[in-house]
Structure 1
């Protein structure tokens, strides 16, 4: 459909030739008000001229609205790119770097703790032939944990390259781990030479082990925990920043998108009024495309926010709580063996065992003697009312953050296994108090059902299963964000912007050509 120049609007004193004259140049500029500097006078006159109705001839109006439409479309593309790019960077920091680093540091703590538990067990079983098989298994486990600690430490060192505090902690572990291993090797050698009976290590071997375990507990484990805490702080900080950024980013996309739509509607209205055209297919298409792009951008931001909440609050918080609980549990298990190995420090190790138990399931006002009964009361109350968790600690945090299918059953298996392990530990202490040291050692180191290491393995496995549920959920949420914001999405967004800009030009070009 074409439009003749006769269809152009006329206003009082305005003609086609007049419009052409307006396009050709500016009218002479009157002198500025007396006393004002020339620059301010010219600026004021220019603003009055641009603000007058007569200035906005049809070509100027169409060109101005076209420029505004193009600018807002580019602005929408830039805003969406910035917001979604920030979302992806934040998710990458949490999902691919900080969160795995924190759990790896917790694994380092676990490996170090179990190394020391195995070292204590080696002194505990001594040269007693009844424990020959167990001694070999203990040595093998010690070597496995040492290799695991070396691997975790190497990865932690790589991950801490940009974190001065983390670097210092890793360097401390690197520097002291060799000294610890030397002391453990010396304790083992002295024990083999002494051929001491079970539960009665030589004073020289015990002294070497004391130096080793003190080094581990006072320097290595706190440093490993510092690495975990540093990475966890990074996750918390980035998470808070990203939630704030996505909240404001959503509104920025919404506001710029509305401005782009308003500019396009204004341009179409101007063409309708000035050219008496009801419909401009190109501009209608770009308006629809802009609405789709804006809606898609808002959807992606909202979806990314949901994924971030799932990955961090629902999954990662449980992963780190359970990872630290498992690490502390291995230190607790080591305290149980230390308690039997070193009678002189038995009271100290018993208190350390209680402290570790409290870190996992915290109960107010308990002693080691009353812990089992109070734990039973708390478990009974919890099972009668899942809506209220009557204890704190890492396991309390997990039971207050149940989200995923199968997670409750897995977490409750952890609780049951923890309770069984505590009951077995109580029996070990009773046997020792009754003077039945070898029976206590057998119960402590045995792998049969009802013995301590068996019950502890059930606890560790249940913790691992619950961690796996949450870790898989975290990885799925991160992967879905990566998929939503991958190169295909960026290419589609760039293509949509190019098409939109082209459609705007296509829609207004025929109209402006009439004024040439």
Structure 2
């Protein structure tokens, strides 16, 4: 018999009727306690990113792989820094040595040549004036060549002063006063050709302009350029203390790292660290050797080139000054007296110039380091003594009233003081050429000793750093 399906029970409606009374002795049922949600864990107070980073770093340094990574980074940084600092310092010193060879010393030599050209022009003008109303062609050509040389050297100095205020000021003075001097000389020549005594006055005034304005400015220019030469020379020879100290630190760190590896693994060699040590040691030895050679060559250039050149320039300038005053003694004929009024000014200046010449020649002979340098200096000293004797003969003639006889012993073609002066000047020129070659050779050797080191130090530094990293990675691979 079929029964109809029983429908699903409806949920009981919430009854508002009071609950039936609980029989005595039956405990009340406590509803189950639902667990409360756990709040998210917050980081302890005061632990920020830096604290977490320090904790991680502390964790890394307590493990051998972490310590090896730090060691590799430090070694690589030290070796690269050593190579970079060495390249930087040596580049500066090589540049200074190059300036000594290619800029400072040539400019100093040009300033000395400018002074000599001006002094020789003044001397030649006086000699041509004494020759008579018709100045010899050779004398005029020599004067024109001296003026042209001085003008050319002025232009060259102006183009290479690099904005030096001292040099610029002196070049300006020389550029303004040289045309005035040449104008006075031309007036003296014109008056002399006409047989006018005014020519001697113009020549004395021209000499005054030369000795009180032009030559002092040229001397100050020479002093400024020589000072720049000394600064470049000092910069080139300065020891690279930072590179040397960093190299020693890098070598010590690499040695300590290899000893650490040996103590922990009992392996004698780590090829990577050994290669890094070899590269660092090579750079350090190269630096020491190159800089020692450079300093030795610069010392040689200074002692046997630069100082000799300065003394020889002083000797040549003194000879030119003495010759100009000797000529003016006959031109003025006692018209210009010393400050005390007791003697001829030009004769007194001649005597002072010859004294300076002989003293400079004695110093140059002591500085000369070979026969090729001593020979011309000895010849110049011998001719200077001969010059002094001939000058005494000329003064004796003039004092006796024999002006023509004195003139012949001053500007004559044979047996005159002019001949002795030319011989002294030629010998000094040979000595200057020899010492200039000595200086250029020694300074060039100093520059060459440093030229390849910057690139070599940088390359070896990179190779050494790579070796240190590879050596440490070889140890790290044992932990993987």
The two structures share one fold, judged by TM-score above 0.5: yes
- Distance in 1 between residues matched to 2:401 and 2:123, nearest whole Å: 23
Structure 1 residues 109 and 55: CA distance shift in structure 2, 3 A: closer
Deviations 1:182-226 (A, max 9, x none): 1111111111122xxxxxxx3221222122111111101111111
Task: Name 1:377's counterpart in structure 2.
Answer: none
The equivalent residue for 1:355 is: 352
- 2:223 paired with 1:233: no
**What is the alpha-carbon distance in structure 1 between the residues aligned to residue 45 and residue 311 of structure 2?**
77
The alpha-carbon deviation at position 352 of structure 1 amounts to 1.2
CA contact (8 A) 2:301 2:442 kept: yes
Task: Report the secondary structure of 1:435's partner residue.
Answer: coil
Asked if the contact 2:123/2:320 (under 8 Å) is kept, the reply is yes
Q: Distance between the aligned counterparts of 2:382 and 2:62, measured in 1?
A: 80
State whether structure 2 residue 467 is matched by structure 1 residue 503: yes
**Contact kept in structure 1, 2:173 and 2:217, CA below 8 Å:** yes
The Cα RMSD (Å) is 2.8
> What residue in structure 2 maps to residue 412 of structure 1?
378
TM superposition shift of 1:241: 4.7
Partner of 2:319: 329
Query: How far apart are the structure 1 equivalents of 2:347 and 2:315?
Result: 18
Once the two structures are TM-superposed, the CA of residue 242 in structure 1 deviates from its matched residue by 4.4
* Match of residue 11 from structure 2: none
1:215 matches 2:209 = yes
Q: Secondary structure at the match of 1:355?
A: helix
**Gap regions ≥5 residues in structure 2:** 1-42, 338-343
TM-fit CA distance, 1:350: 0.7
Please state whether the residue corresponding to 2:319 is helix, strand or coil. helix
Q: How does 1:269-418 map to 2 (within 5 A)?
A: 269-343=259-333, 344-345=335-336, 347-361=344-358, 393-404=359-370, 406-418=372-384
1:452 aligns with 2:417: yes
Q: Structure 1: how far apart are the matches of 2:113 and 2:457?
A: 41
> Structure 1: which 4+ aligned runs deviate by more than 6 Å?
29-32
- SS in structure 2 opposite 1:160? coil
Aligned residue pairs total 431
Which secondary structure state, in structure 2, belongs to the residue aligned with residue 277 of structure 1?
Answer: coil
In structure 1, what is the equivalent of residue 253 of structure 2? 263
User: 1:430 is matched with which residue: 384, 393, 396?
Assistant: 396
Give SS of 1:406's match. Answer: helix
Task: Tell me, in whole angstroms, the C-alpha distance in 1 between the residues paired with 2:425 and 2:252.
Answer: 60
* Cα distance in 2, alignment partners of residues 56 and 314 from structure 1: 63
Deviation at 1:95, TM superposition (A): 2.7
Deviations 1:240-276 (A, max 9, x none): 4544x32xx1x43332222111221222223333334
The TM-score normalised by the length of structure 1 is 0.77
> In 2, distance between residues paired with 1:491 and 1:468?
35
Query: How much does 1:147 deviate?
Result: 1.3
What is the rounded CA distance, in whole Å, between the counterparts of 1:404 and 1:72 in structure 2? 48
Asked whether the 8 Å contact 2:88–2:454 carries over to 1, the reply is no
Residue in structure 1 matched with residue 103 of structure 2 by the alignment = 97
Q: Partners of 2:78 and 2:162 in 1: how far apart? A: 42
Equivalent of 1:421 in 387, 394, 414: 387
After superposition, the C-alpha distances for 1:346-385 in whole angstroms (9 at most, x for unaligned) are 7011111122223223xxxxxxxxxxxxxxxxxxxxxxxx
Deviations 1:31-85 (A, max 9, x none): 99xxxxx99x969x969x86x9x94432122222222221221122123223312
Match of 2:19 in 1: none
Q: TM-score w.r.t. structure 2 length?
A: 0.82
CA separation of 1:56/1:406 partners in 2, compared to 1, >3 Å: closer, same or farther?
farther
Alignment partners' CA distance in 1, 2:160 and 2:336: 37
User: 1:305 is paired with a residue of what secondary structure?
Assistant: helix
CA contact (8 A) 1:62 1:267 kept: no
Task: Report the CA distance between 1:30 and its aligned residue.
Answer: 9.5
The CA distance in 2 between the partners of 1:313 and 1:42, in whole Å, is 64
Larger gyration radius, structure 1 or structure 2: 2
Aligned to 1:117: 123
* Alpha-carbon distance between aligned partners in 2 of 1:207 and 1:405, rounded to the nearest angstrom: 46
Find the counterpart in structure 1 of residue 24 from structure 2.
none
CA distance in 1: counterparts of 2:370 and 2:278, whole angstroms? 39
Indicate the SS of the match to 1:345. Answer: coil
In 2, Cα distance between the equivalents of 1:413 and 1:107? 21
Which structure carries more relative contact order (alpha carbon 8 Å, separation 6+)? 2
Q: Which runs of 5+ in 1 are unaligned?
A: 1-28, 33-37, 195-201, 362-392
1:493 to 445, 451, 457: 457
Whole-Å separation in 1 of the counterparts to 2:160 and 2:361 = 27
Give 2:29's aligned residue.
Answer: none
Give the CA deviation at 1:180: 0.9
Match of 1:461 in 2: 426
Q: Distance in 1 between matches of 2:412 and 2:76?
A: 76
Q: How does 1:34-53 map to 2 (within 5 A)?
A: none
The answer for the alignment partner of 1:470 in structure 2 is 435
Contact 1:404/1:469 (8 A) holds in 2: no
